[in-house]
Amino acid sequence: MPFIHEEIINKSSDCFQRVSWNILNQSISALVKNIKSTLINDIPKIKNKLLYLNIITGKGLLCSSIMREQLNSGMDITYKYAFLMSLINCEFSEIGILLLKRCLHNFFCEYYRSALDKHPTHRFSYLSFIAHLVNYGLAHPIVAVDLVKLFLKKPTEESIKMAFIVIHTCGHHMRKMCSVDMDDIANTDLNSLGNIDSGVKFKINITIFGLIKNNKYSSIKFPTIGTIDYKNTHLFKLNDYIIDPEAYLNYYAYKPTCDAETYRLYYEQFILTENNRDNYLLIYDIHEGLQENTMATYNVKNIPKNMKFIKRTISELVTNWFIFDYETNARKLMKLKIEQGQETMVCALLMKLCYTTKNNYAIVERIGYITQIFVQLDEFFVKPLEQSFPHNYLNAHIFNPIEIICISKYYAHLLFSDTISWDVFSIIDINTMDKNNDSRQLIFVVTLFYELLNNLGYDNLANRICSEFNIKAFEKIFLLDGAIELFQSMKLEKFVYMYKQSYNSMKYYLKDN
């Protein structure tokens, strides 16, 4: 299947990015659906899981999912969604401002609809969301003040209800930050509003003016995110701002340079903590919700029941792989309930399938693609995969030649697809390696290099080996005395000369700088 390499393995390809987008969409939707049944104190855990995803690329998907679930859940739990978005806004303010823009845009679309609309549930729901965003410091209170002024320009029974929702929900913050504006609203001359019904005037005096003058705001205490310093608070002047919901962010668009790695680097440096890792559940385990899991330890006598189902599913994908469909297989693997700490067991299962294929190298290739999907779904699979490389290399003698060839081909697939780091080569030392013709370690290394050469080509493999990021990992392979002899027997001695030249050039460059 040579055509698959360019489309699926290349992270800059349209096919790979499209599959990643679909997985991102499903992962965000699965997490957001949990909010409705989640206790408010557990909302930060959902936030941590969302931050693990590339929500910069998927910010349109996230905002759409949040607004859709909030609209369908009712106004009584709107504060949960506002609380979650305020937490995310502290990390990525551009997501917070996008949500606020969309809430305002959707509200005004509903507000200016025909008066024949007798079901204003949506506009009340959007308005409640905006008011709660003010409560949590994502939106500035001046937004709420402008909305109330808008409702009182041409007061009706419905607009009075809307003004009441805003003031009752976030009146404390409006009074704190915009006290002059609040006094102006309370002292509004109703006669200046034109000919309005006496019943409407009475309701304004009781529900709006009375609410402000007596400071009778909502007494419900919602959870806070600490003292609001308004550093990440967003302000819109509704009179002079054209609100663009940026709807194009809801749809897939090909990018020549994939930004997933950039987000991953930012996440690991500035967001991820050990506590986040310990509390993390796999993003596609949507049925487990927020139940606490302890780190699982591998015990042969007590294998979890779900491992049988996982093994059966993977085996079916491997044996029934008549037509390669990356997205379909990814969707099937997303349904597996892999619990926290089971990544090592799944990796061991994949490895066992590799060396029990009985010389069927096509199956090894399929297992490589399945491993790719697992890593794409959850990069916590990377560590056990990388740890298994030195273990299998150092214990190569326990495998027969056919088994070690299958294992080597499997690792080659993970390497040329950048599923694991090339730093794993640092474990190979040709001076300590047994160089007999039947040596399992020699078979492992020779097969690994030939497989990488077949899949990457000479120039690409040379670039990978001599890359400034990988060059130190090959020191014990190409710089030692036996390197020329070993690679001459493989007819790959050009790699040795090229590596030494690049290594020396890099040494001189580092000295000069």
Question: What is the per-residue pLDDT across 147-180, written as a single tens digit (0 to 9) for each?
Answer: 888 888 888 888 888 888 888 888 888 888 888 8
**89 belongs to a structural domain:** yes
Token pair of 54, please?
């590339």
Calculate the alpha carbon distances from 297 to 342, 345, 351, 386 in Å.
8, 9, 18, 18
The DSSP string of 213-274 is: HTT----------SS---TT-B---TTT------GGGGS----SS--HHHHHHHIIIII--H
Query: Higher pLDDT residue, 439 or 47?
Result: 47
Measured between its terminal Cα atoms, the distance across the chain in Å is 46
Instruction: For residues 284 and 335, give the distance between their C-alpha atoms in angstroms, rounded to a whole number.
Output: 7
Which pLDDT score is estimated for 13? Answer: 72
Task: Please give the distance of CA 228 from its chain centroid, rounded to a whole number.
Answer: 27
Q: Tokens 């490589």 — which residue?
A: 368
What's the CA gap between 410 and 306, in Å, rounded?
Answer: 25
Residue 386: inside a domain, yes or no?
Answer: no
Q: What is the mean pLDDT of the chain?
A: 76
Give 225-241 pLDDT, tens digit per residue.
554 555 567 776 665 45
Question: What pLDDT, in 10s, does the model give residues 117-135?
Answer: 555 678 888 999 999 999 8
CATH number of the domain enclosing 280: 1.25.40.180
Domain that holds residue 76: 10-111+247-292
Confidence band of 345 (pLDDT split at 50, 70, 90): confident
Six-digit token string for 164: 């009441």
pLDDT of residue 257: 64
φ, ψ for residue 139, nearest 5 deg: -110, 145
Segment holding 334, helix H or strand E? helix 326-334
CB 460 within 8 A of CB 466: no
Contact 350, 367 (CB under 8 A): yes
- 18 occurs within a structural domain: yes
Residue 80 pLDDT greater than 60, yes or no = yes
User: Phi, psi at residue 288, to the nearest 5°?
Assistant: -80, -20
Residue 172 included in any domain: no
Q: What are phi and psi of 335, to 5 degrees?
A: -80, -10
Q: Of residues 226 and 489, which shows the higher confidence score?
A: 489
- Tokens, residue 501: 């030249």
**pTM given for the model:** 0.57
Q: What is the pLDDT of residue 448?
A: 92
**Segment 212-224 mean pLDDT:** 60
pLDDT band at 56 (very low <50, low <70, confident <90, very high): confident
The answer to whether residue 382 is domain-embedded is no
What's the one-letter identity of residue 40?
I
Quote the CA–CA distance of 118 and 412 in Å, as a whole number: 64
pLDDT of residue 297: 33
* Cβ neighbours for 440, distance < 8 A, ≥ 6 positions apart: 396, 397, 399, 401, 404, 434
Rg of the chain over CA atoms, in angstroms?
A: 30
Is 101 contained in some domain? yes
High-pLDDT (> 90) share of the chain, %: 9
Distance (Å, rounded) from C-alpha 496 to C-alpha 483? 7
In Å, how far from its chain's centre is CA 447?
Answer: 35
Tell me if 269 is assigned to some domain. yes
Q: Which residues pair with 234 in a beta bridge?
A: 139
Q: From CA 203, how far away is CA 206, in angstroms rounded?
A: 5
The reported pLDDT for the residue numbered 449 is 92
Residue 490 has pLDDT above 60, yes or no: yes
Side-chain half-sphere exposure of 165, counting CA atoms within 13 A: 22
User: Quick one: pLDDT at residue 117?
Assistant: 56
Q: What confidence score (pLDDT) does residue 99 get?
A: 92
Give the number of other CB atoms < 10 A from CB of residue 74. Answer: 12
What pLDDT does residue 292 have? 33
Asked whether 400 and 439 are in contact (CB, 8 A), the reply is no
- Report, as an integer, the average pLDDT of 247-273: 64
Q: How many domains does the chain contain in total? A: 1
DSSP character at residue 190: G
CB distance 123 to 107 below 8 Å: yes
Tens-place pLDDT, residues 307-319: 777 878 877 777 7
The verdict on residue 121 lying in a domain is no
Average pLDDT rounded to a whole number, residues 237-257: 73
CB-CB contact of 404 with 440 (8 Å): yes
